[in-house]
Amino acid sequence: MRLAIAIIPSETQPPTKEPIVFLQGGPGLDGIASPAVPPDVSLNHNRDLILFGQRGTQTSSTPLLCPEQDEFYSVRVGLVYDAPSTGELDAKSVKECRDRLAPTTDLAAYNSTESAYDLIDLRKALGHEKWAVFSHSYGTTLALIYLNMDGAAITSVAFDGATPPSVGGFGWTWVSARAAFDGVMEACEAQPACKERYPDLGPTFIRLVNELEKNPVTTTIDLPGHGATKVVIDGGTLLAWFVGSAGRLTAGIPAAIDELDHGNPQTVAMQYASGWVTSGVSNSTVATGLTSSIWCSEWVPFETAEAAMSEAKKAFPDFPDSVLEQAPQLAFLREECAAWDVPKAPDSVRDTTKSDIPSLVITGGFDARTGPMWGEYIAKDLSHAIVVVVPGWGHGVFLNPCGAEVIASFFDNPEKPDTTCVDSVEIVEFTILPPRQ
């Protein structure tokens, strides 16, 4: 196995600070092909930045790409999201990928623990006694596990969008989705124009989830690069759309819900389909085989269906069971894992991480994927942690100008980063469409 790395050299030579190694999310995103590098600040003024392609990702010698599953995702937008027949097609696509890869690849060797050993090997190969770590999304899982294994070599670590390995699973997603939902709805209530134009937005959304689950809406959109595309919106689709839009397309959420409620599903359909048909998810830049190897060994075996449903009902007690059975981001994951068939990871992979290394735990206030509560969760065991929530932002705080400033400031001064910009961040003004005649 060969793993690719890329080094962005320090602007000043020689470097005067230890390098930063980036751990990308997914799992399955490639740290070189799509690095989580803040675009608005320079982190390499006086240090090297190391981009790491995790084993199984696009740039490694053994990429676990699953075009079979990518094709299913493109087709799924035209299917009832949580219908059993959709789950059967999902599992079939996963099995087809497994049948192709398994004869030549040990799928169980692609996991967070082995990737943490890869990081140790990489650090030694580059001759670094110390380095700093920046992690995003699933990368925070890897960072926490790596911290347990090589903590003495880490000078500071930033977690952007915490995914704690000790709780990763179905229930974890419901808590994040509910917090983001409440945050967006409360923000609309707090803006007089939004409150007046879109009253009772939260109850309207919940009603629509129930109505669409009973009677899905089918529409056709003109998707750039793909032409006429059929999209089915049921209750599960609507929730999936919200989770993908919160913090990213926040300004248009109330208007899109209102349009849907009045017979125009085009905005929701276009935004939902664009996330699956035209993004990296559907053109083999995400190694969904690696995704399956990690989720199916480190998450799914550690949570019962009953426990997951309990968390779902606590989050959205008014949703129908058919929606609650498929967690946000993880529809039919149990069926996928039955098809992928990798062994359960050792219980130690779920250990919490305790450390006194300077840590930044940063999250977007509207992150519906890895909510702020999970940042607080990991920070309670990180005695030297600074917790930051960027208001109104979603998943990937490194993409926010203020978030990027905070991250850069942390690596410059882990003991006392400059977080003053957070107080001036304002939640976006919601789009207000003209009243109907």
Report yes or no on whether pTM surpasses 0.85: yes
> Which of 282, 316, 348 is the last residue in one of the domains?
348
Residue 435 domain flag = no
Residue 90 domain flag = yes
Residues 391 and 291 both lie in one domain: no
pLDDT of residue 241: 97
Residues 48 and 175 both lie in one domain: no
Residues 398 and 413 both lie in one domain: yes
Give the sheet arrangement for strand 131-136, strand by strand: 5-8, 49-52, 20-23, 131-136, 154-160, 359-364, 385-390
Q: Per the structure block, which two tokens stand in for 207? A: 């009603």
DSSP state at residue 430: P
> Which of 348, 381, 414 is the last residue in one of the domains?
348
Mean pLDDT, the chain, rounded, equals 95
Residue 12 domain flag = yes
Residues 261 and 389 both lie in one domain: no
Among the listed residues 133, 117, 48, 42, the one whose alpha carbon sits nearest the alpha carbon of residue 361: 133
User: What's the rounded mean pLDDT across residues 35-54?
Assistant: 93
pLDDT of residue 284: 59
> Which of 324, 348, 372 is the last residue in one of the domains?
348
Residue 229 domain flag = yes
Residues 202 and 82 both lie in one domain: yes
Residue 160 domain flag = yes
pLDDT beyond 60 at 141:
yes
pLDDT beyond 80 at 283:
no
Residues 42 and 21 both lie in one domain: yes
pLDDT category at 432 given cuts 50, 70, 90 is very high
DSSP state at residue 59: T
Residues 317 and 386 both lie in one domain: no
pLDDT category at 259 given cuts 50, 70, 90 is very high
> H helices within 47-191, ranges in order?
67-76, 84-101, 112-125, 138-150, 170-190
User: What's the rounded mean pLDDT across residues 141-160?
Assistant: 98
Residues 343 and 389 both lie in one domain: no
Range of the domain at 419: 5-62+110-166+351-424
User: What's the rounded mean pLDDT across residues 255-277?
Assistant: 94
Residues 331 and 418 both lie in one domain: no
Q: How far apart are CA 48 and CA 33, in angstroms?
A: 18
pLDDT of residue 416: 95
Residues 133 and 227 both lie in one domain: no
Residue 436 domain flag = no
Residue 289 domain flag = yes
pLDDT beyond 90 at 96:
yes
* Percentage of residues of the chain with pLDDT beyond 70: 98
pLDDT of residue 280: 42
Residues 72 and 162 both lie in one domain: no
DSSP state at residue 345: P
pLDDT beyond 90 at 277:
no
pLDDT category at 97 given cuts 50, 70, 90 is very high
User: What's the rounded mean pLDDT across residues 209-232?
Assistant: 94
Query: From residue 162, how far is each of 38, 175, 396 by CA, in Å?
Result: 17, 13, 10
Among the listed residues 41, 37, 46, the one whose alpha carbon sits nearest the alpha carbon of residue 17: 46
pLDDT category at 248 given cuts 50, 70, 90 is confident
pLDDT of residue 281: 44
User: What's the rounded mean pLDDT across residues 277-306?
Assistant: 84
pLDDT of residue 275: 83
Give the tens place of pLDDT for each residue, 324-335.
999 998 999 999
Q: Per the structure block, which two tokens stand in for 434? A: 């003209």
* Percentage of residues of the chain with pLDDT beyond 90: 92
pLDDT of residue 285: 78
Give the tens place of pLDDT for each residue, 364-423.
999 999 999 999 999 999 999 999 999 999 999 999 999 999 999 999 999 999 999 999
- CATH number for the domain that contains residue 39: 3.40.50.1820
Residues 242 and 286 both lie in one domain: yes
pLDDT beyond 50 at 306:
yes
Question: Rounded to 5 degrees, what angle do the CA atoms 248, 251, 257 make?
Answer: 100
Query: From residue 394, how far is each of 126, 360, 367 by CA, in Å?
Result: 34, 17, 4
Residue 434 domain flag = no
Domain count, the chain: 2
pLDDT of residue 278: 55
